Amino acid sequence: MARQRSIISLILVLLATFLISCGSPTTAVAPPTYTTAQLEKIQGYSPEIQAVRDRSDELKTLIQKGEWIDVGNFIHGPITEARLTMTYITPNLLPKDQPTARQITKDLLNHLVKIDQAATAGNTQLALSNYKAAYADIDKFVELLPETSTQSEAS
């Protein structure tokens, strides 16, 4: 009888240990947030992207007038600088937003290449459609930026 009690006691101890280990409270993980350094970097770079967004009509006018050399200069100058700035900002975004930001940057590059090819061929329609897509990419990227950086731009 004593032997059965010790076996039952051992089984109960093992069962209690198992239940306690399975039922332990989980620690709540805080959602990822931006550090002050990340916000400062993003705020430092984001005005360059905003400046290119503000000049969108300039590129559209150049394409419509068929000023292909100026179109090439614009996409190889200010817009390419904005794309480079986007690559600097991407590592400072939240981890969940980084893959999206990288894809948007790649899409922007593809649209810029197509605008350049259209400019070389003198194809206004192709250039305009890719111009719209390029600026849509820039707008998507700006939406990924934290609110504090876009609020400081508006000030």
C-alpha to C-alpha distance for 66 and 51, rounded to whole angstroms: 23
Whether this model's pTM surpasses 0.75: no
* All structural domains of the chain with their residue ranges: 35-154
Three-class secondary structure assignment of 58-118 = HHHHHHHHCCHHHHHHHHHCHHHHHHHHHHHHHHHCCCCCHHHHHHHHHHHHHHHHHHHHH
pLDDT at site 14 = 72
Q: Percent of the chain, pLDDT > 70?
A: 86
Q: pLDDT tens, 53-104?
A: 999 999 999 999 999 999 999 999 999 999 999 999 999 999 999 999 999 9
C-alpha to C-alpha distance for 52 and 60, rounded to whole angstroms: 12
Higher pLDDT, 150 or 35: 35
C-alpha to C-alpha distance for 32 and 55, rounded to whole angstroms: 34
pLDDT at 153 > cutoff 90: no
Q: pLDDT tens, 112-148?
A: 999 999 999 999 999 999 999 999 999 999 999 998 6
pLDDT at site 18 = 73
pLDDT band at 23 (very low <50, low <70, confident <90, very high): low
C-alpha to C-alpha distance for 155 and 153, rounded to whole angstroms: 5
Please give the CATH number for the structural domain made up of 35-154: 1.20.120.290
pLDDT band at 10 (very low <50, low <70, confident <90, very high): confident
